[in-house]
Amino acid sequence: MATEYDYWKIFPRMPKKVTIGDITVRDGFQHEEKYISTEAKIFYAEEMALAGCKEIELANLGNPAGMPMFKDAHEIFKYFKQGERFKKRCARKGINPDDIVFTGVTIREPAVDTAIEMKKEGYGPDRILMMVSTEEEHHFANSGTTLPDYWAEAERCIKKATDAGIRMVGTVSTIWGSPIGGATVLEDAVEFTKRWFEIGANDIEHADHDGSANAADVYRYCSMIMDEMPDPEAHLLHLHETKRIASSSVLAALHAGFTRFEATFGGLGGQPANFLDDVPIRGTGEYYYEDPRYVGLVCLEDLLIQIDEMGIEHGLDVDRVLWLGRKMEKTIGRRLRSEAVINGRTLKEGHMKFARPGRPARKEKYGETPDQVIPSGWGEKAVLPEVWGPALWK
């Protein structure tokens, strides 16, 4: 039986076009222990919009006493939803700003009410997010309430948000494991996904919040989701990177048919900071990791290069994104985790500046044609002998 070499025939669900959302300004910056200015937040979100990104998270709309990183949330949303400068810059690029979905995170009902008030004032988010974890200890650490109580709250919030013209994304977390409670069951996450749709969620963020996922289990879970709820627009994947294996999980999700992914510049992000500048803050309590250097999301620049070099359409300006990644390192003040911002994309034309001089003259000296790669007199095609390789030594 001949081997099938066409990747898309081997994995018929694998897409030829994907959406990559940028959640740096919210999820990436929430982990930083120094304040990121309003101007920087606007700069990166706007530049990503102009680079072709259609899904951008701008802020957490919860009480800024717990996460003062987002005390400027209203100002940022006003810039993008009411500001003339953004509209003019989009027009010059031929971009319709109404095609860009701006999301605000609203873990609890007061934040949902804030989003609704913002909407009434004309600058509210297009989409908001609430989150459940299949493992209740993790859920309690994030939300401060039990799962049954939270589900009832989420149902109320979805109805209110829908009436206000705001879509709700329901996050299912700890799918592949919990940093607090340990191992989890994939089937629980499938059931929670159905629960979200049952109470009216628009789409689902399937989340690995601590890098527990591996490729085999991601393929299994994403395939289970696509078997039971086969609308790729209804699902997006949110992966964290703690062991440098998330790219294999991205590939596994593509094999299963997922088409929507989200990431952060430089792999920023993680648990909300409990320190900002020189002040201890509440955040979500004590960190559940040992070393902040190895915590964060899938790296946007590297994910984009992975997708681009597979020939999958993504709609983003790759060079602009890599340029932004280099700028982000200056904003944050340290080397981040992207390899692509250093090495760029694979150039089909190569890097001839590294070629050694003298090859044409040497080939001429040996009587070789410019494109000759085997000695004269050899057969046009190689012929394997009956016994070859290791068998010769047995």
What's the confidence (pLDDT) of residue 229? 98
Start-end ranges of CATH 3.20.20.70 in the chain? 7-343
Q: Which of the two residues, 151 and 292, has the higher pLDDT score?
A: 151
Mean local confidence (pLDDT), 46-51: 98
Look-up of token digits 């879970």: 221
Provide mean pLDDT across the span 317-339.
97
Query: Rounded to an integer, what distance in angstroms lies between the CA atom of residue 203 and that of residue 191?
Result: 14
Mean pLDDT (the chain, rounded): 95
Quote the DSSP letter at residue 268: -
Assess contact for 240 and 298: CB atoms under 8 A: yes
> Rounded to whole angstroms, how far apart are CA atoms 253 and 256?
5
**Residue 226, both tokens:** 């696509």
- Tens-place pLDDT, residues 184-217: 999 999 999 999 999 999 999 999 988 899 999 9
- pLDDT over threshold 80, residue 85: yes
Q: Which residue, chain included where needed, has tokens 């915590």?
A: 295
Q: How far apart are CA 62 and CA 133, in angstroms?
A: 18
pTM (2 decimals)? 0.94
**CATH superfamily, domain at 7-343:** Aldolase class I (3.20.20.70)
d(CA 222, CA 255) in angstroms, rounded, equals 9
